[in-house]
Amino acid sequence: MTTFRDGLFDGKVAFVAGGTSGINLGIARRFAALGAKVAVCGRDPEKAARAAGEIGTDALGMSADVRDYGAIRGALEQARSDFGPLDFVVAGAAGNFLAPALGMSANAFKTVVDIDLLGTFNTFRACHDLLNTPASLIAITAGQAEQAMALQIHACAAKAGVNQVIRTLAIEWGPDVRVNGISPGPIDGTEGMARLAPNPEMRAAHEHRIPAKRWGEIDEIADAATFLCSSAASYITGTILDVDGGSSVGDAGRMDIAKGLA
Ligand code: HXC
Ligand code: NAP
């Protein structure tokens, strides 16, 4: 783990939507380790309670579906009431599965768009008057926002929308509220990659294309979130930070062809 100053987030309050597992739980855990009071939220109350227990005795585990504005508003209000005004809000809830467009019902497409895109809007819209400014908001997006990918039409459309939510709110809510995104590459040990690369062959194919030649670690996403919420990022808003080993720059698999020519 990269070292940030102990107590960097002492006195801060963080709310992480989708923070009950995976990448977002890693961010929540890091914020708590640096001194913040942290609330995490997902649909499953038992999973939320387990996540809060793992983060620490002070953490709050809550249940709300980000597709339901009233429910996520209620969870944010609860965090505000228990911990005080919110300094950091992460919108990270997402759903995904591999399916071709012709194998996807209208409701299947809508389900992912509603969780990822509407859920990000709801989380940010509902938190605004509960913030302690200057505040930092982070949405977790993905490379599919910019690069179309087969079997991912729902996630591509949803995350492209998330990127524009980030940029629009950075304009509307500045200067007191900074709004940024993190776009992770394939991250080891996550539900997302268990779904998108469910066998060793698919994993190897992914790795081959990444300039860094490996999947990322949850801690590397937590590093980026810590940076974006720290004063070191005080002049950064409306940015989408790719933490993807260079995947978004280009396909490193092409190097094999280039080597053959050189
Ligand atoms: C086709 C599918 C499907 C599949 C579900 N559906 N799975 N269609 N192929 N594999 C359809 C259903 O048939 C239904 O349509 C509609 O989707 C809604 O399904 P429900 O099960 O009712 O939805 P819900 O209970 O809301 O669950 C949402 C979910 C589920 C997305 C389907 O998988 C979930 O809860 N996921 C959360 C965890 C997760 O996905 N984590 C990974 C995030 S990672 P019909 O027409 O039958 O009603 C990630 C990676 C990003 O985002 C990018 C990496 C590079
Ligand atoms: P994960 O472990 O499945 O985490 C998803 C979280 O969202 C869980 O806490 C889940 O809890 C919650 N959630 C799902 N649907 C929800 C809903 N409708 N309302 C409220 N909470 C909901 O996923 P992950 O793989 O770590 O991915 C985390 C984030 O990173 C996502 O935004 C994903 O798109 C992004 N990302 C991941 C990768 C990767 O390599 N994994 C790459 C790029 C981007 P419940 O199930 O209890 O609701």
- Residue 3 pLDDT class (50, 70, 90 cuts): confident
Which residue CA neighbors atom 23 of ligand 1 most closely?
111
Residue 153 contacts residue 172 (beta carbons within 8 Å): no
Quick one: which atom of ligand 2 is closest to the CA of 48? Answer: 47
Q: Which of 66, 56, 60 is nearest to 30 (CA)?
A: 56
Domains in the chain: boundaries: 13-261
Quick one: which atom of ligand 1 is closest to the CA of 67? Answer: 26
CATH topology classification for 13-261: Rossmann fold (3.40.50)
For ligand 1, mutation pick of 47, 65, 96 (most atoms within 8 Å of CB): 96
Res 192: pLDDT: 97
Given a cut of 90, whether residue 124 has pLDDT beyond it is: yes
Instruction: Give Cα 147 to chain centroid, integer Å.
Output: 18
| 84 Cα: distance to centroid of ligand 2 (angstroms) | 26
Given a cut of 70, whether residue 1 has pLDDT beyond it is: no
- Residue 44 pLDDT class (50, 70, 90 cuts): very high
| 92 Cα: distance to centroid of ligand 2 (angstroms) | 6
Ligand nearest to the CA of 110: 1
Res 258: pLDDT: 73
| 119 Cα: distance to centroid of ligand 1 (angstroms) | 14
Given a cut of 60, whether residue 90 has pLDDT beyond it is: yes
- Look at the block and give the residue holding tokens 């929540």: 28
- Residue 262 pLDDT class (50, 70, 90 cuts): low
Res 2: pLDDT: 61
Q: What are the phi and psi torsion angles at 255 (to 5°)?
A: -60, -35
- Reduced 3-state DSSP string for the chain: CCCCCCCCCCCCEEEEECCCCHHHHHHHHHHHHCCCEEEEEECCHHHHHHHHHHHCCCCEEEECCCCCHHHHHHHHHHHHHHHCCEEEEEECCCCCCCCCHHHCCHHHHHHHHHHHHHHHHHHHHHHHHHEEEEEEEEEECCHHHCCCCCCCHHHHHHHHHHHHHHHHHHHHHCCCEEEEEEEECCECCCHHHHHHCCCHHHHHHHHHHCCCCCCECHHHHHHHHHHHHCHHHCCCCCCEEEECCCCCCCCCCHHHHHHHHC
Given a cut of 60, whether residue 60 has pLDDT beyond it is: yes
The residues, any chain, with a CB within 8 Å of residue 20's CB and separated by 6 or more, are 40, 41, 42, 44, 47, 48, 50, 51, 61
Quick one: which atom of ligand 1 is closest to the CA of 186? Answer: 55
Mean pLDDT of 203-216: 94
82, two tokens? 């228990």
| 107 Cα: distance to centroid of ligand 1 (angstroms) | 10
- Look at the block and give the residue holding tokens 């071709």: 100
Q: Is there an atom of ligand 1 within 6 Å of 99 CB?
A: yes
- Residue 126 pLDDT class (50, 70, 90 cuts): very high
Q: Is there an atom of ligand 1 within 6 Å of 96 CB?
A: yes
Q: What is the mean pLDDT of the chain?
A: 96
Separation between Cα atoms, residue 208 and residue 68, nearest integer Å: 40
- Look at the block and give the residue holding tokens 């809508």: 110
| 97 Cα: distance to centroid of ligand 1 (angstroms) | 6
Ligand nearest to the CA of 95: 1
Res 41: pLDDT: 98
Res 256: pLDDT: 72
Ligand nearest to the CA of 43: 2
pLDDT digits (tens, 9 = 90+) for 139-186: 999 999 999 999 999 999 999 999 999 999 999 999 999 999 999 999
